[in-house]
Structure 1
Amino acid sequence: MEQWIITKEHHEQRIDKVVVDLHGQASRTAVQRWINEGAVLVNEKEVKTNSKVQQGDKVTLTEPAAQEVELLGEDIPLDVVYEDSDVIVVNKPRGLVVHPAPGHESGTLVNALLFHCKDLSGINGEIRPGIVHRIDKDTSGLIMAAKHDAAHEHLAAQLKAKTTERRYKAIVHGVIPHAKGTIDAPIGRDPKDRQKMAVTHVNSRPAVTHFSLEETFKQYSYISCELETGRTHQIRVHFNYIGHPLAGDPKYGPKKTLPINGQALHAETLGFTHPRTGERLRFSAPLPAEMEKLLVDLRNAH
């Protein structure tokens, strides 16, 4: 169950839009279904999807159990790093959307997994059966999916408890002057642009990114990052916040950047405890060729 107190920012806005903003993960369609099912209360009372909230209202969300979704498996090639009867780990290529959404109803990682596995889980009411965590479309690298609900819940609990290991490699603008550091800044919807996330103290969640410097160039830095939390666009938002946006980032970075189609970000390492055996597993995926070439070019130009 989640609860929020409405601030001035959302005063006189529709409850379905407000919950989408505050939740940060759910679609408008899912939220409207929850409201119609009585899962969203305002001041302990059921409301309609077009009801407007007032500053000071208390909004309570109790997410209902998942509904079965109709998704088709698609024969999309997968780079499977690990697989057993409980979990699968895939090295996702840049450009592949993780789960279906408006505008990307097919051709996603979920469609590929459904074809490959036949037996993925689906909880939290989202159209992403089996997906425990997400990485952005243009971020490459490791992502895990569960094959049944018990495994899904176990892996999700690890994410919540911050016991998973998630390390990334990235190329950012500017020369970072510190060998290592921690960015501890809450992330929520950007009040100036609802399509973006931002560091904000309004309806936000804690976000912590640890980083270390791998290499510096004339105008760029190559870094390693470790996520303590997993907010939407966390690394991209945090490094933009400290003045070092990711190279190639179309949403948060400058237009003048390195020749790469999307942010230079790779989920290199993934570690977690196996949901059935209790064994600690750790996987690594090499940098994609596109990022390797950027580094070679930067070294040669240095």
Structure 2
Amino acid sequence: MIIEEARKIAIIDYLAYLDIYPVCETNGKCSFFCPFEKNSLIPSFEVDLARNQWHDFFIDMKGDLISFGTRFHNCSLFDFLQKLDDFSLSLLPEGRLDKLTGKNQRQPGIRIISVEPISSPELIQFLKAKKIVLELANNYFHELEIEFPLIGNRLKVLGLPNESGGFQLRALNFKGSTSSDVSFIDNDACSLVVIDDLLDCLVAMQGNPDLPFPTNWLVLNGQGMNAKVDEIMLLHDEVYLLLGNDKDTSGIRKRALSLASGNSIKITDLAPLDHNFNTISEWVFNNTQNVRSAPVSKNSREDHRPRGFRR
């Protein structure tokens, strides 16, 4: 089999061939226990069905079927392509692929058990490692205990409310959502910061002197540009793009600049020019001499809803 043909094979089909099945499916993304770790208890391995790409948050690696196969089988590209010659969907026992893709039944999503302020030692240590102040995190995040109904496993995670009424979920070696959407933090400001990652957002809140203060925040959560993002941007006089330099953000940047050209919006692109930094968080901390502590609301957290989120 040639490389071009191999890349057309759906990763979830090959996982089914290996008897590897998801623990949940949300918004076109399936979560699995890490295939590279035999005793994994956290579903850190995610497959984007539309893009046919995998991302394992435990080992912090991602790629296509070829990169998965060569790592999983610990073999060369040539050897893996030979293995794919033996692979065929016709070899799958009846019902196995249906079990994976949900042709007969939809895979259960994530069930929320509880929503509380952040208090778990594991999550507090996770925030500390990310250099995020707990008091600030508690103003925007919640501690959620979630369950994967298919297997009954429970996990405590950070949850950021989004515009669909769901949560974006993060923990060590885990990333997911109950219903994926953008998150808009409304501080009644005329300016807006557009950023892709929810943890990068908190880091930037703590210390980026290039940003106005106060300002509103729009966390894309991997959604890219869409009509909802356009609508939120058009509500502001100034928009600051705090995005990375990878190819996934280049399209976002182009559409934002195009939107501004036809409207009275001032766009400032704060993309790091230094490609040595892998994340916006790294760039912020390496370009900020005096880290500023963002104010924390003393208001009550009724209905588990943090101050500043539009509903």
TM-score normalised by structure 1 residue count: 0.27
TM value normalised by structure 2: 0.26
Q: Normalized per residue, which structure has more helix?
A: 2
Larger Rg: 2
